[in-house]
Structure 1
Amino acid sequence: MSRFHIGLIINPLAGLGGPAGLKGSDGVAEQALALGSEPKAALRTRTALDCLAELKDRVEFVTFPGSMGADLLGDMGFAHRVIGAIAQQTTAADTRNAVELLQDAGVALILFAGGDGTARDICAAVREGQPVLGIPAGVKIQSGVYAISPRAAGELTARLITGGLVRLASGEVRDIDESALREGRVTARWYGELSVPEEGGYVQQVKQGGVESEELVLGDLADWLQDSWEDDVRYVFGPGSTLHGLARNLGLETTLLGVDVIENGQLLASDVTEAQLYALVADHPARLLVTAIGGQGHIIGRGNQQISPRVLRAIGLEHLRVVATKRKLGTLQGRPLLVDSGDIALDDAFPDAVRVWAGYKEELLYPLSR
């Protein structure tokens, strides 16, 4: 099994201002150190990573030199790759640069330790849809992008690595004006939102006994898709009963075992060949919906060879979404989703975790292997 790649950013200055009574750490780190404050961010991160100790053979971190991550990971014995460079005392620019480089490296999740100032820096550089999760280590934690504790951050990350259901939610980034706070005024500001994992469960559309209703979920998914159709974009529906049922809820009669193309809410082409599909998406905006083979987990390369490597490249992996109910994911018993396109370089380009549409405006983040 390939390793799960996680980005790690530690703001070593986070939380320094708290013990010194400075109401925060922004711009006062040197003063806090002079007053005897000791860095705690690495210790808080260690608590989170302790939860991954038994998964060391399944995870590889991508991080930054020294106190931004490499020192701690080396000390704890985690496999890691060091990228970038930092100054002797880290800055907000270092954090923003780290986010850019980690995204370029294709990590499935960015773990970061800090406070609201760190969250602001993350928000300023993160791309839409990149999952992130904060390890609380700052003085102020107003933002809804942090786990409730370092241990909770570690447990949630472990759940993702082992194939537990992890939902993606939107978390607000907020920060208090520290200079105003030191003058006795509380002024908070909204800076944006980040995509944050949280524990997924059987929380909606259930029958008695907690058994998920496939029919109701497909109806919900159809409503969501209908609400979010993009004009003049071609939606490729892969084979399988899940997508066939989704289409029927949209009033469309697709083929059960074929690949169909929908545009502007209408069936554009039915049961297409690979050549026909490539001609339809090569020079036209497109989205790809596939499902997983229940109990096995393949999303590419089994029963949908019409979705070839050149088709995948034309559509773009960022435009792929897996559609699967929680019941279907449960049949995998924690095993990852699988791809086998026949093109090793393309398979390696897939992320370590993919977005799964599982209900109305409900996305899960689920691990993927090659």
Structure 2
Amino acid sequence: MTDQTRPPTEFKLEVALGALGIGVPDALEEEARKRADDPTMRATLLAGLLHLRVQEAVHRLIVGQQNQEAPGAFIGRLAAVSPQGWPLEENHAEHAEWELSWAFDRAARMIDDVGEGAAPYCEEGMHDKPVDAHASAAISAIEIARDMLRLRSDPEYYGDREGALELLHEHLHRLHVAHAAVGDHHRQAAAEQDVVQGGDDEHDHDLGLPDGFEDPAGRPVNNELLSAFAGAAFDRCQSCQDVNMTLIVEDSATTARLVELACTTIHAQFGGLPRSLLDDDVPGPAAPPFRRLARAGADGNNAAMFELCEQMTVEDRRAAANTAADFVVHAITRGE
């Protein structure tokens, strides 16, 4: 073991902190006393403090005095210390996991904070009380990044590759659900803001029901709501699209009809539905609930699609409808 790899002593860490003018907070000393049974705890806490303060110092050095130096000088410094420009050879996969673990822990500290700015929702099978969907989505995204890195550097990390892929799929599903909750939160906030700013003025997006929107099977679809959504999409009024979408996902038949219209649009364009819209194991932007509904309605079995949509939660219907809306809105705005 060399001086470069030997764990630093408390004395050396105190010297380093003192040289940088960094005091040791009382809270850290108290934590060290609580965990006195671990002889390395105080050194670990001092190392953590040094790590955080050095990160802050590096950031300040990179940013520099932007108003008093040549334009782009800070970009050159950033490039030099970033992993892509760092002149020393390192194990990037290993370091990426370390760095992701810090981001994971910070997001985990935020998840129970459902105060101002949070998007409270109940995480499926994970928590029995509301948590913040932003933090939950961030945690899932970090887990996905970590899964991908481990699959590359150590495919047997989780025991077997198939198990690792199943875990990755679970993290993707949780991300989709949290993303839907975040979307609901911000759409509702935007709609409320629009009402406050717009006063009593109402938006009238009277497009009339586009050809093909009427449900030929006569199911209890809210065609007027779909018409309002289509009109808002044609006029590119995002706030009204968001308001109408919130109402659509409360109605299973109208949600299923929107998914059905998306599938019809895609089928007309490509002569069929791509596997990325049907199979859960094929990468693509389509949410898993959309894929389940699309599979159920394959080969014209649309009644099964409507039945499955009725059994879904509002969160799953929102995820499916968001994917469907992307295709339908694109078709409407392009006049297809």
**Same fold, TM-score > 0.5, yes or no:** no
Structure (1/2) with the larger helix percentage = 2
Q: Which has the higher contact order (CA 8 A, sep 6+)?
A: 1
TM-score, length basis structure 2: 0.30
